Chain A
């Protein structure tokens, strides 16, 4: 559970976690195994189609939540079950404590339920004098240790077998060794007698099916079957988000849930309970069953046009499995009770602003979570939105406020950049890096070197040197983004060279400014909208076949976010749609549109490896084009491990969490160096800044370049 009061304390906590080698290794191994396991489990299936169907059916269920609840209740009651509605966690806990009291229950066995975690049910039941035992092995372990889960599906993933062995020694009063096989058997026997003694069983529900009033439970251990069979009373606690119209919807989710959670085709047990079934421990031979259906802010949430998609979450935990930040810091630091990407969001809604305000800044916006989400939830976008909302409520921190102000005024911003060029003179080295970190950076930023501002920005070069293309095949507008305009103009120049050679006529609209992603990332929604409007006005989409950018982050932001940012202004929205439709990234343009040919390049056979920018591979779903270009341009492409994992730049993220950024970068560079290639290519200037700076600090011989640069150099 996250406890820090402010960002400073939070960073302190993060630093501690970063020092936990066991946790780091486990999470690393898991991340790598998970990716392969998931891919294998979905082999031959139309995953995107399936996720889309789930998203649609869950959205529909959200719209009909009230009617679904009524139908569910009616059918369940007709089958002999008591159905209760709880508006918040306290009420749910009170209802359950009362059921226990009325039925004269003393001992409770529980099968894993995130909803019960959300309401802190165990505390309230224990306060009411009841004995509660978690039976899911991981949950039992953390219950005995008095801590919260560190993963949705594997709650004790942060613990080693030795820690568990010590814990079981304490619990049984007998010495236990640390062999996992044995520890599991000890738990089996210790917990068996808990089932025998319990008079009440509590479970969650993965599905609540309105057409039959049934619930579905998905488990691997089988504890839900015992918990719902042996005690004479069964209580199932579930959020209204579990309501589905029919069995078919549940079966569809079941196809994705275990595959996404652990790479299993299905869990060992899936249990479907309908009606007050047989129970030989009850006086009348019938089990007493209660469903407690929890709102706790959910019905408000599903009315929100943006956040209603949160209802699609099926709690598979995949968003944590792929999150590079979670992989570094684990669940105790990346969420309050719900963890990972969805945890950042749910924490805000279920546990409040104070618990969420540090956590939401922890997202690097790499979109890995969005890419695997079983419900197709745009998690990074929602996280940013919450960040913005919290800042609107709490006031904007000075740096983010200032950056917003500066970016809104293009002229001022550009003047500042030009002035910076003079300011850095005394500390600039000839190799294009700054010798010492400027004062505003703390020493934690020392893991990478920062580049100097270029002598001549691209926009000035363009005025004098722009090529004229006599018989154009295509007309394009160039969008440079600030980094390529002022720091790495040579990348733009290289692209211009390749374009001109392929009969592309180009324009560079001078009124263009920063794409606005940095301020959006800092939660400055208003500033990011203002910058967007400026850029939309600067470009005349109808005049070009394409608008090309060499920066993957700009491209993804321009394409996907601009139309959303101006959604409420119909005229601008039309323009933004037209603009977005014309946006294309460098690699796709050169490979797929211009279709350049290997014979036009000198084949050097030098080895080059590749880093896939998050906003290119996931943001724009571009995978093959850059790799094909590397080969066409005469280099030998060698694949790098975890090529599509974030390099840790994430714009402002690396400023706020340098320790995390450094770790992500370290992994990336280790993988790069392991390929043996001398050149690392990529297509995003932000990634180049991060990767180059990191390699420079390591004293590595690996050179980092934009794909455009090699193409221009090797062009015949």
Chain B
């Protein structure tokens, strides 16, 4: 049996291999600090690289214009934590939401979530997202920040199989393995991140 520390090491190694940014944190307050900081430092619109000004079709551009303020989406947090995050966001001048993701399809700056499990073998996060808001927060955000309690790191997918089955039998359900940011190699096999989903994946591994 690999120890908790071995699994952690392995997880970090594998996650970093697929361009996830992994940070160790002590507690939830650290997580909030991280999110606010990241949002602050982040360009207002990561899509700038394609040049907002001139080169999109009119329709796509209109959608972009719908976004005015930096947005943090954090559905699925417990109430206390969400309140804290909302307060800090407000102070920093960001919009913080826990629902209504469909009104923010032009892009959310940061999606903030909790993972159920980590899979060391491949550096994968397992997130159960029966709620649509959760799914969208992890997909339409430009950066996805996900907290993973250290004790929840398992060796491989077989080790989470039972847990998955329990959920799948308690239908309906929508489970995701997330490993690194959204990627494509469809043009000339050159790796490019963030084609549909997040451009960056930040994993905060929390002592527990």
- Give A residues with C-beta under 8 Å from B: 26, 29-30, 33, 78-80, 135-138, 141, 154-157, 159-161, 164, 171-176, 180-193, 195-196, 209, 211-214, 220-223, 225-226, 229-230, 247-248, 251, 254-255, 262, 264-281, 286
B residues near A30, Cβ cutoff 8 Å: 189
B55, A186: Cβ atoms closer than 8 Å: yes
| Sample of 16 A–B contacts (CB below 8 Å) | A135-B196, A159-B187, A180-B192, A185-B50, A192-B105, A212-B165, A221-B184, A225-B139, A229-B139, A266-B179, A269-B197, A270-B176, A273-B175, A274-B167, A274-B171, A280-B132
Q: Which residues of B contact A (CB under 8 A)?
A: 14, 17-18, 47, 49-51, 54-60, 63-64, 102, 105-107, 121-124, 130-133, 135-136, 138-140, 157-158, 161, 164-165, 167-169, 171-190, 192, 194-197
CA distance A247 to B164 in the complex (A): 9
Contact A272 B50 (CB under 8 A): no
Residues of chain A within 8 A (CB-CB) of B183 are 220-221, 268
With most chain B CB atoms within 10 A of its CB, the pick from A141, A269, A280 is: A269
The answer on a CB contact under 8 Å between B169 and A269 is no
Interface residue from B14, B49, B173, B182 paired with A272 (Cβ < 8 Å): B173
With most chain A CB atoms within 10 A of its CB, the pick from B64, B140, B157 is B157
Residues from chain B with a CB closer than 8 A to the CB of A262 are 185
Closest to B47 in A: A185
**Cβ–Cβ contact B165 & A247, under 8 A:** yes
Closest to B189 in A: A30
CB distance B56 to A172 under 8 Å? yes
Q: List 13 additional A-B contacts (Cβ < 8 Å) besides A138-B186, A222-B139.
A: A159-B187, A176-B55, A185-B47, A188-B195, A222-B196, A229-B174, A247-B161, A248-B158, A254-B157, A268-B180, A268-B183, A272-B176, A278-B174
A332 to chain B, nearest CB (A): 16
User: A186–B55 Cα gap in the complex (Å)?
Assistant: 8
Q: B194, A184: Cβ atoms under 8 Å?
A: yes
Q: A138-B186, A180-B187, A221-B197 in contact; A272/B171 too (CB < 8 A)? A: no
Q: In chain B, what residue has the closest Cβ to A188?
A: B195
Q: How far is the CB of B198 from chain A (nearest CB, A)?
A: 8
B136 with A229: CB separation less than 8 A = yes
| A679 → B minimal CB distance (Å) | 37
With A175-B55, A254-B157 already in contact, the answer to whether A180 and B190 are too (CB < 8 A) is: yes
Q: Which residues does chain B contribute within 8 Å of A173, judged by CB atoms?
A: 57-58
Looking at the assembled complex, report how far the CB atom of A22 sits from the nearest CB atom of chain B, in whole angstroms.
9
Partner of B184, one of A29, A184, A254, A273: A184
> Are A272 and B168 also in contact (CB < 8 A) when A182-B49, A196-B63, A221-B184 are?
yes
- B175 nearest in chain A by CB position: A272
Measured CB to CB, the nearest residue on chain A to B193 is: A184
B176 touches A156 (CB 8 A): no
* A171 contacts B57, C-beta separation under 8 Å: yes
How many whole Å from A619's CB to the nearest CB in chain B?
A: 30
User: In the assembled complex, which residues on chain A have CB atoms less than 8 Å from the CB atom of B180?
Assistant: 268
Residue contact A268 to B189, C-beta cutoff 8 Å: no
A189 in contact with B179 (CB, 8 Å): no
Q: Report the minimal beta-carbon distance from A151 to chain B, rounded to whole angstroms.
A: 10
Which B-chain residue is minimally distant from A271 (CB atoms)? B176
Of chain B, the residue at the smallest CB distance from A267 is B179
Please tell me if the beta carbons of A183 and B136 are within 8 angstroms of each other in the complex. no
Bound-complex Cα distance A211 to B166 (A): 12
The interface residues of chain B lying within 8 Å CB-to-CB of A213 are 171
Q: In the complex, A186 Cα to B124 Cα: how many Å?
A: 28
**Smallest distance from the beta carbon of A426 to chain B beta carbons, Å?**
53
Tell me whether B187 and A164 are in contact (CB under 8 A): yes
Contacting residues, chain B, for A33 (C-beta < 8 A): 189
A221-B182 in contact given A154-B189, A189-B47, A189-B63 (Cβ < 8 Å):
yes
Cα–Cα distance between A339 and B14 once the two chains are bound (Å): 32
Which A residues are CB-close (under 8 A) to B102?
A: 230, 280-281
* Interchain CA distance A225-B172 in the complex, whole Å: 16
User: How far, in angstroms, from A155 to B189 measured CA to CA in the complex?
Assistant: 11
Contact A226 B139 (CB under 8 A): yes
Instruction: Determine how close the nearest CB of chain B comes to the CB of A158; give it in whole angstroms.
Output: 10
Our pick among A26, A164, A191, A211 for the contact of B196 (Cβ within 8 Å) is A191
